[in-house]
Amino acid sequence: MEGLEHLRKRIQAGGAEKYHAANAAKGKLFARERVALLVDEGSFVEDGMYANALAEGLPADGVITGVATVDGRPVCLMANDSTVKAGSWGARTVEKIIRVIERAYQTGVPMVYLVDSAGARITDQVDLFPGRRGAGKIFYNQVKASGSIPQACALFGPSAAGGAYIPAFCDVVAMVDGNASMYLGSDRMVEMVTGEKTTLEAMGGASVHCKESGVGHFLCKSEVEAIETIRTYLSYLPSNWELAPPAAEPVAANGVDLAAMVPPSERQAFDMRRYVKGIVDEGSFFEIHALWAKELTIGFARLNGEVIGVVANNSMFKGGVLFIDSADKASRFVQLCDAFNVPLLFLSDVPGFMVGSVVERQGIIRHGAKMITAISEATVPKICVVVRKAYGAGLYAMAGPGFEPEATIALPTAKIAVMGAEAAVNAVYANKIAALPEEERDQFVADRRREYDEDIDVVRLASELVIDTIVEPADLRDELIRRYRAARTKDRSFSRRRHGVTPV
């Protein structure tokens, strides 16, 4: 028994001291310290501690797996130990990861990945790579569990080669700036294959993925912040798809003047994030993907204590126009909310989708169709609020009347049209304007714009039942609370089929 206790302590100590020191110099915590920060004190129960115990220098085979509680709720987790062969995968590493994901799925609890791994051990590739219980089974299980249980990843170091797909298959990824990276091929491999000279940070660092690629969701300054971000994320979601999101004590909104926040001119931008915070419970807005595709704001919040998902156009960035990345950003978030029974609030101030040869070649139609598909398929309660404008297919992308929202609500500042007055007048009267004497053009254009605005007047839209009601900004929060409460028993069936064909 003394020998077993010594072995246990040796395993729990991880790799050699020099590797611990090297990590500490980079501001990195030991894997077991990360686990302790994530979970409730004394709740962690470890599985597979003795994996590869007979091998030299492979404590726990480089990965810690088990079950615990976070804020009193059960979770499963894995944590790469980068002091053991840089957190690389061997055959038993892979088996442990497979088992803990299977356990999370079978028991219906969230799965948390604390990732810091150099990827597969090439020396063990036959044992860990190709078989039925090889590394591919990890990704298969992640896909199987997707939408059934929450999956969240905190990335503290590299996630290399095939291992990069563990974060990619998670709902969200929190990355530690300066240390975290994701890449399919190392900088040396890239140079050998393509001739490009780059660095891991420039190619796959945290800033790149959180600001440019969109694979990362949260750019964190420290490991403590990354872990706290994952804890906060889980607090908004149920343990699995069959449960309701956890409610909290209602808190009043921050009391800002919503009416004063919206400029009268469509050309003048305002920050929709501030508008969101003026509607929801104070301090509850948890923004996701804040640094990527900023023309669209998404995140969780609480409304009278109940969790909602917010999708809002932000004219502070690119005028709130929808681009390829913002369409993808919305699609994924809407699917996430729909999977875990989180009602959706759409706050519209959108000129439409971007046009031009560049975005057409990039597939803006395909990406827009993907966003509209996600919104069509979402069966959670949806409410569309037209804050200022909803033009063209932007109305469709923001869950407009044709997409069976519980309600389409217009503020007095709202406009719904195929396009704005300026563009419409130019499209219809361009030749006539050009033929007029120069001194008559301005008046002609002003008259036609006035006529156009009268045609799409918000009261007329309400009289035609295009919108369900017109609400003053000061009354919007209470209106939303009542409508979401009424929608709790909604029938969530959608279509007679196995699944659609997503326009990816």
Supply 123's token pair: 């020396």
Asked if residue 270 lies in contact with residue 261, where contact means CB atoms within 8 angstroms, the answer is yes
Instruction: Give the total residue count for the chain.
Output: 504
Sign of CA dihedral 465, 314, 265, 433: negative
Q: What is the three-class DSSP state of 19?
A: helix
* Diameter over CA atoms, the chain: 101
Alpha-carbon distance values, 156 to 226, 468, 483 (Å): 8, 48, 42
Residue that is written with structure tokens 């007048």 in the block: 425
**Residues 241/341, Cβ–Cβ less than 8 Å:** yes
* Structure letter (DSSP) for residue 353: B
Residue 2: predicted pLDDT: 59
CB contact burial 185-198 (16+ within 10 A = b; e otherwise): bbbeebeeeeeeee
Structure tokens that stand for 109 in this block: 């609890």
Helices (H), 13-90: 17-25, 31-38
Q: What is the Cα–Cα distance from 110 to 240, expressed in whole angstroms?
A: 7
Q: Tell me the three state secondary structure of residue 489.
A: coil
Comparing CA positions, the residue from 146, 154, 170 lying closest to residue 240 is 146
Residues 42/48/51/53 CA torsion (nearest 10 deg): 40
Q: How many CB atoms lie within 10 A of CB 432?
A: 12
d(CA 24, CA 18): 10
Token reading at 59: 């404590």
Q: How far apart are CA 192 and CA 203, in angstroms?
A: 15
Strands (E), 197-305: 218-220, 286-288, 296-303
Each of the 504 residues of the chain gets a pLDDT tens digit; together they read 658 999 999 999 999 999 999 999 999 999 999 999 999 999 999 999 999 999 999 999 999 999 999 999 999 999 999 999 999 999 999 999 999 999 999 999 999 999 999 888 888 888 888 889 999 999 999 999 999 999 999 999 999 877 889 999 999 999 999 999 999 888 888 889 999 999 888 889 999 999 999 999 999 999 999 999 999 999 999 999 999 999 999 999 999 999 999 998 888 999 999 999 999 999 999 999 999 999 999 999 999 999 999 999 999 999 999 999 999 999 999 999 999 999 999 999 999 999 999 999 999 999 999 999 999 999 999 999 999 999 999 999 999 999 999 999 999 999 999 887 788 888 888 888 888 888 888 888 888 888 888 878 899 999 999 999 999 999 999 999 999 999 999 999 999 999 999 898
Q: How far apart are CA 147 and CA 335, in angstroms?
A: 8
Are β-strands 73-80 and 306-313 bridged in parallel, bridged antiparallel, or unpaired?
A: unpaired
What confidence score (pLDDT) does residue 121 get?
Answer: 87
Q: What tokens were used for 141? A: 């299980």
Continuous segment of H or E residues that includes residue 113: strand 111-117
User: Do residues 247 and 343 touch, judged by C-beta distance below 8 A?
Assistant: no
pLDDT at 452: 80
Output the DSSP codes for 409-429.
EE-TT--EESS-HHHHHHHHH
Q: Where are the alpha helices (DSSP H) in 108-186?
A: 125-128, 135-145, 165-168
Q: Which residue in this structure is represented by tokens 């729990």?
A: 12
* Whole-number Cα distances in Å, 48 to 84, 129, 138, 257, 283: 15, 20, 16, 56, 40
**Three-state DSSP class for residue 470:** strand
Name beta bridge partners: 469: 409
* Count of C-beta atoms within a 10 Å radius of residue 212: 12
